[in-house]
Amino acid sequence: MPLKDYIGFCILIALVLLMPHLVANDYYLGVLVFTAFNCLACIGLCLLMGYAGQISLGHGAFIAIGAYSSGVLTTMLDWSPWTAMAAGALASMAIAFAVGIPTLRLKGHYLAMATLGFASIIHIIAVAATEITGGPAGLLDIPRLGLFGYSLDSDVSYYYFAWFAVVAGLYFAFNLVHSRVGRGLRAIHGSEDAASAVGINTNIYKIQVFALSAVYASVSGSLYAYYVNYIDPGPFDVMHSIVLVTMVAVGGLRHLWGALIGAVLLSLLPELLSMAAAPLKVIGIAYKPDYDILVYGGILLLIMMFLPEGLFAGLASASKSGTAFLMKLIKGGSIVRQ
């Protein structure tokens, strides 16, 4: 992992430690906890989209599998939350193999199609299998997660725990990217023919990274379930999968930091919009949360038009040319002085 990524980690950890002291109240802390869940899912999705070049339009389904595994196994079978989370991750991995093996062998966007259909099926199951999932009424009384005998009851403790999971997940992802396997994935993205010509089994690699990204999503779903202690099918519709893809694409899918930035920005966006809506109300325009989706769409459109590599790459190149411009100014200044 290059030095600048370690610096990035230091900045991230500093921000995570600082945030609880900066936010005004528990509500905003809660928003940051939800942001962590999205970040975790987006890290996995970024490995799949940015590094292996495959699109999943159904990652919300793996979040649902994680959440419902945790919910059902803890409330109905009295499993420990940790075991339930591991079971959910294993189930997601197995399902990812089942969906991935037939579709990832084909060239083209078959995975996107298959996952889109799969996400609808999972959502329908969550709604219709009322005896297990509770149906539209949902599952109540999911326990909080405990750590070394302490229950993570308070929002602050869960906040630290969720962001620790993000940092750990990001760390694993970075290690992977800078390894033989990560290079293999990026090679597949670059040229599948050339990757197989040096001996990379492209199918196995694509399937493995799809399964890995499903595990990230599943863990994020489990953490969600233990945080809100109540789940219903609402948040796990197909739209949520699309929003995840949007987050990764807006931040920049070629880089893990991009995915993280995209996830944070779009997770906070509804809050920012409702803040911005207050002055609008004064001049007589009523902004409704339903309009959020319009704003999402507009942002995605603008990013794709003006920063197709995403915000992170756009900012990086802007800062580079900015530094170059400053250097020029300084140099120019010193010449003038002479």
Q: Which is nearer to another protein, 196 or 229 (CB)?
A: 196
Q: Which is nearer to another protein, 84 or 200 (CB)?
A: 200
By CB under 8 A, residue 65 contacts another protein: no
The SS3 call for residue 151 is strand
CB atoms within 10 A of CB 1: 13
The SS3 call for residue 253 is coil
Q: Which is nearer to another protein, 72 or 93 (CB)?
A: 93
By CB under 8 A, residue 180 contacts another protein: yes
Q: Which amino acid is at 85?
A: M
Q: Which is nearer to another protein, 109 or 183 (CB)?
A: 183
By CB under 8 A, residue 1 contacts another protein: yes
Instruction: State the nearest-atom distance from the C-beta of 195 to another protein, in Å.
Output: 7
Give CA angle at 22 (19, 27), nearest 5°: 85
By CB under 8 A, residue 198 contacts another protein: yes
Q: Which residue has the tokens 């899918």?
A: 253
By CB under 8 A, residue 3 contacts another protein: no
Could you say which of 176, 239, 268, 273 contacts another protein (CB under 8 A)? 176
Instruction: State the nearest-atom distance from the C-beta of 44 to another protein, in Å.
Output: 11
CB atoms within 10 A of CB 319: 10
List, in order, residues 6 or more apart from 182 with CB less than 8 Å away: 51, 176
Could you say which of 187, 245, 263, 264 contacts another protein (CB under 8 A)? 187
By CB under 8 A, residue 197 contacts another protein: yes
By CB under 8 A, residue 212 contacts another protein: yes
Count CA atoms within 13 Å of residue 240 on its CB side.
20
Contact 247, 261 (CB under 8 A): no
Could you say which of 144, 254, 271, 314 contacts another protein (CB under 8 A)? 254
Contact 42, 247 (CB under 8 A): yes
By CB under 8 A, residue 207 contacts another protein: no
Tell me how far apart the alpha carbons of residues 64 and 138 are, in angstroms, rounded to a whole number: 12
**Partners of 231 in the β-ladder:** 139
Instruction: State the nearest-atom distance from the C-beta of 204 to another protein, in Å.
Output: 9
Binding site for another protein (CB under 8 A): 1, 171-173, 175-176, 178-184, 186-187, 189-191, 193-202, 208-209, 212, 254
